[in-house]
Amino acid sequence: MKKYFSLVLFAHSIFAMPFAFIGFFLGVTTTTNPFNWYLLLAVVLCMVFARNAAMAFNRYLDRDIDAKNPRTVTRDIPAGKISAKEALTFVIVNCALFIITTYFINPLCFYLSPIAIFVVLFYSYTKRFTALCHLVLGLGLGLAPIGAYIAVTGQFNIVPVLYSFAVLFWVSGFDIIYALQDEEFDRSEKLHSIPSALGRKNALRLSSFLHVLSAACVIMPIYFMDFGWPYYGGVVFFCAMLIYQHRLVKPNDISKVDRAFATTNGYASVVFAICFLVDAYLRTR
């Protein structure tokens, strides 16, 4: 199990998982649907299975590319820690578990589950033909809040959709920052990314624009719901983290990319989700 956790970088679930909790408790606190521990567990399991499948498939598909890149040559498959066959088996098992779990949630989740799996797996192909691969990654993680909301309610709503767009733009923006590390490698291997297509300066400008859109999407729910001070505090913190990561990374200095990518964004999602949940609790008392 340890080698599989290493393969899928389980800690990276911290990006989308908090927004899944937001979607879940949004459904519980704004509708007549009651809280259900088994349903919450099913949502968490779906997040884990989807994340496992997506990450392992990316490692499987990119194994030859990773072997050429000095930054990724130590990853599990190129380093021989796990075989390509084992990784692919892991992907298939997690896809099956995801779909099976959605069957026990509600019919809409089950019917939409193949689409969700397609989106999260399809991302791994996109760098081979489009620089918009970052947006596809954002779309995959952006399914978390609306998916969790549908699990509770069995229907769509504008507010969880706004949170999905917030995740889409947020993840796309910080993935562009992360891709700065491979700008020259991607260009030499004819792989597509925003940094390799636009250069560092313009890539960072586009990343900033996407993060402005993400900030707008966490602010807009205010016009559809009555939030209290905890939510406003969460919005301020989330936006501050977006600004901070752009102060860490400059066109002539990308030495702090890892700090901007993992630490800053991890704090942003967790603290924002906590503020949302505290606000939801206070509103339902």
Residue among 105, 103, 119 at smallest CA distance from 171: 119
Angle at 42 between CA 16 and CA 95, to 5 degrees: 75
Which helix (H) or strand (E) segment holds residue 234: the answer is helix 229-248
pLDDT along the chain (285 residues), means of 10: 62 82 96 94 95 93 94 89 92 97 96 96 95 96 96 96 98 96 94 96 97 98 95 97 94 88 89 97 86
Could you give phi then psi for residue 250, rounded to 5 degrees?
Answer: -125, 160
The encoded tokens of residue 275 equal: 């503020």
Question: Residue 160 class from Cβ within 10 Å (0-12 exposed, 13-18 middle, 19+ buried)?
Answer: buried
Six-digit token string for 285: 């008392």
Q: How many CA atoms lie within 13 A of 24 on its CB side?
A: 22
| Rounded alpha-carbon distances, angstroms, from residue 261 to 78, 96, 133, 179 | 23, 30, 17, 10
Q: Tell me, what's the pLDDT at 258?
A: 84
**58 alpha-carbon distance from chain centroid:** 14
Q: Give the domain ranges of the chain.
A: 2-284
SS3 of residue 15 by DSSP: coil
Q: Which residues of 19-58 are buried (b: 16+ CB within 10 A; e: fewer)?
A: bbbbbbbbbbbbeeeeeeeebbebbbbbbbbbbbbbbbbb
Question: Which CATH architecture group holds 2-284?
Answer: Orthogonal Bundle (1.10)
Cα-Cα end-to-end distance for the chain: 42
Q: Which of 227, 239, 225 is nearest to 272 (CA)?
A: 239
The structure tokens listed for 171 are 């993840």
Q: Which residue has the tokens 């589950």?
A: 113
Question: According to the model, what pLDDT value does residue 275 have?
Answer: 97
Contacts of 220 (CB under 8 A, 6+ apart): 162
Q: What is the pLDDT of residue 3?
A: 63
Contact 55, 95 (CB under 8 A): no
Q: What angle do CA 75, 261, 214 make, to 5 degrees?
A: 130
Question: For residues 74-99, b (16+ Cβ closer than 10 Å) or e, as one string?
Answer: ebbbbeeebeeebbeebbeebbebbb
| Three-class DSSP category at 250 | strand
Contacts of 3 (CB under 8 A, 6+ apart): 76, 81, 82
- Separation of alpha carbons 268 and 132, rounded Å: 24
